[in-house]
Chain A
């Protein structure tokens, strides 16, 4: 029986171009428009921050290295230990690392323009987001501290231009991170600990820390493919409920009852039909997005699992709205659902604006809403997270589905009622 209901429902969809436009064409057009319009905000390209950094180096690092190497060679150490220390000097010179490995790295070169200067006037300083100064004798004092102890470690100077707050803040973060790394290495070295071994041991003890940058970045088109698809899935529930109410208003439902179809089976048919339609819809939308916008999924099984669960939730919404409209004997419930409830849950769920940008309570509430759970789960799965990482969202979707089905079961029309 349910198979025939699904077949009928799909035929009705195929023959109603307006519904097809709403469910397939409209979301796809919105994905394209919103995605391209907002690519610059949420895009995968690194934003052009245009940071200008002045680098004043008063230290002669080559001369300092030569002096330190000469002192090491005079120490009472084995030849092997001496060679290891000399190699360490060449490879662990903080000024060299800062210049060559940090500031000259491909990532930072895109956003930081470094000017090496001898000095700057007050007026010239305003043109820069930050000024780095390596004081004279920095390298020598640094290695003195590392290998021979005694003195305080020297300091690099960083001046931030407060008028460029974003650029200044990013410059400060880069140097803070660099400084922490150097301090860690220096301290370990001065205590006679092998820093690399220590780091490996710490990593194995506390588990692998996954940097965010290793996960796939989602483009604006990708984000809106998720946002719009999830929102328009709910319109399937509205459309199916409209069809269901039409069946009641023109007495097809009476005919179905007279064929001895139990009411729960009828509603199960609506549930499964909505499930199938929304599952087809989401796959067509993501299929088109993959073909045209290159929106892809790292793990298809994860994507399909989530899509199945979301489609089931759409089915649960469809039967609930249908049951309410049957109970009220009015299409008003469907209209309210389609024109008020769906836009509301889509907005809270982040279909229009990424909720992370809004933050706070809003972001927290969003996770527990039907669309919010769907959008954030799809987002994470698209980034490459596993199903375990989105277990909270999956549980939310499952709980909502079960609750909706239970409510429907309670309020569904009963046999012989004059509904």
Chain B
């Protein structure tokens, strides 16, 4: 449905996106992952025709949309990271305004607004000003506006930032339902790895303006198929214990979330003995040890050297 070829965006002193390629099939949910400054938002802006790429092409059903952005705009709904709504209008007034500028006819719009309010669960608050809404409700309306013109493709740029778990679940379920029931194609970016794992069929990982990994969840996880993750919980994390761990051979990565340590090591190597010896030497009490297969978060850490939320 959508293809991106060698897309590059160069600003004055910086190349924000460096010749990336990716594609999306109809009905897919594709995750776009990357730390802050990875180039995700610039990529989204180029796909949605808001920013012209320096080089490269964006094709919708094999037709370039750079010269005719109207084509992609008709089928595209964008949920921006910011709450792009009028705070001093009611939910319904916002939907009416954006619906009318999408040139939806008055009677059709009335029906469509009812449908959208049902989808986003705001029917009972339609007459309230948006500024009185909770963060989660604003996020839901932010999505609702993007759904008004029944887009085939939705780009969601971190749609769950800063909201409570209940609203987050509601949004995830809504996205899943829209995808399953209406075959809407979704490009989803998030800082929450579990959201991407839950929703996405395929994933692109971006860093420093480049796609550094892509594929299905399993394909990406297989990058670390030769590794395993040791999750060690200690009573008190001591500096000498951490230094000792870093000095051990075969350890590929350590991430610390005091008092829990995540250590990535090759599957074939049994390093537990050495860890217990080191704990004894540094008077560190180990509360528990778990051996896990790598998660997407581990892969991300492995590839970028950073946590997703860094």
> Which positions in A face B, CB cutoff 8 Å?
1, 4-5, 7-8, 11-12, 15-16, 250-252, 254-261, 415-418
Which one of B69-77, B118-126, B261-269, B290-298 contacts A? B69-77
- B80 at the A interface (CB under 8 A): yes
Whether the pair B48, A11 counts as a contact (CB closer than 8 A) is no
B89 to chain A, nearest CB (A): 6
Complex: chain A residue closest to B51, CB-CB: A418
Whether the pair B88, A15 counts as a contact (CB closer than 8 A) is yes
Chain A residues near B272: list those with CB within 8 A. Answer: none
Complex: chain B residue closest to A12, CB-CB: B88
Given contacts A254-B84, A255-B98, 17 further A-B contacts (CB under 8 A): A1-B100, A7-B97, A8-B97, A15-B88, A16-B88, A250-B82, A250-B85, A251-B84, A254-B48, A255-B78, A257-B50, A258-B50, A258-B73, A258-B78, A260-B73, A416-B51, A416-B69
Whether the pair A12, B86 counts as a contact (CB closer than 8 A) is yes
A12 to chain B, nearest CB (A): 5
- B213 at the A interface (CB under 8 A): no
CA distance A417 to B46 in the complex (A): 10
Whether the pair B89, A8 counts as a contact (CB closer than 8 A) is yes
Whether the pair B52, A416 counts as a contact (CB closer than 8 A) is yes
Which B100-142 residues sit within 8 Å CB-CB of chain A? 100-103, 129
Chain A residues near B45: list those with CB within 8 A. Answer: 418
Q: Which 7 A-B residue pairings sit nearest by Cβ, starting from the closest?
A: A416-B52, A251-B84, A15-B88, A4-B100, A259-B101, A251-B80, A259-B102
Chain B residues near A255: list those with CB within 8 A. Answer: 78, 80, 84, 98, 145
A267 to chain B, nearest CB (A): 14
CA distance A126 to B156 in the complex (A): 92
Contacts A250-B83, A251-B80; A4 near B97 (Cβ below 8 A): yes
Whether the pair A250, B84 counts as a contact (CB closer than 8 A) is yes
Whether the pair B78, A417 counts as a contact (CB closer than 8 A) is no
Contacts A8-B97, A15-B129, A258-B78; A415 near B69 (Cβ below 8 A): yes
Which B34-51 residues sit within 8 Å CB-CB of chain A? 45, 48-51
Chain B residues near A256: list those with CB within 8 A. Answer: 101
CA distance A16 to B9 in the complex (A): 40
CA distance A24 to B171 in the complex (A): 43
Whether the pair A417, B52 counts as a contact (CB closer than 8 A) is yes
Contacts A254-B78, A255-B145; A418 near B89 (Cβ below 8 A): no
Chain B residues near A12: list those with CB within 8 A. Answer: 86, 88-89
Chain B residues near A15: list those with CB within 8 A. Answer: 88-89, 129
Complex: chain A residue closest to B50, CB-CB: A254
Chain B residues near A257: list those with CB within 8 A. Answer: 50, 73
B41 to chain A, nearest CB (A): 11
Whether the pair B101, A261 counts as a contact (CB closer than 8 A) is yes
Chain B residues near A8: list those with CB within 8 A. Answer: 86, 89, 93, 97
Q: What are 8 inter-chain pairs, A to B, with CB distance below 8 A? A: A7-B97, A8-B93, A15-B129, A250-B85, A255-B78, A258-B48, A258-B73, A416-B69
B259 to chain A, nearest CB (A): 41
A249 to chain B, nearest CB (A): 8
Chain A residues near B74: list those with CB within 8 A. Answer: 260
A273 to chain B, nearest CB (A): 13
Residue interface mask B236-273, A partner, CB < 8 A = 1: 00000000000000000000000000000000000000
B15 to chain A, nearest CB (A): 13
- Choose from A16, A254, A261, A418 the contact partner of B80 (Cβ within 8 Å): A254
Contacts A4-B100, A15-B88, A250-B83; A259 near B73 (Cβ below 8 A): yes
A13 to chain B, nearest CB (A): 9
CA distance A323 to B123 in the complex (A): 37
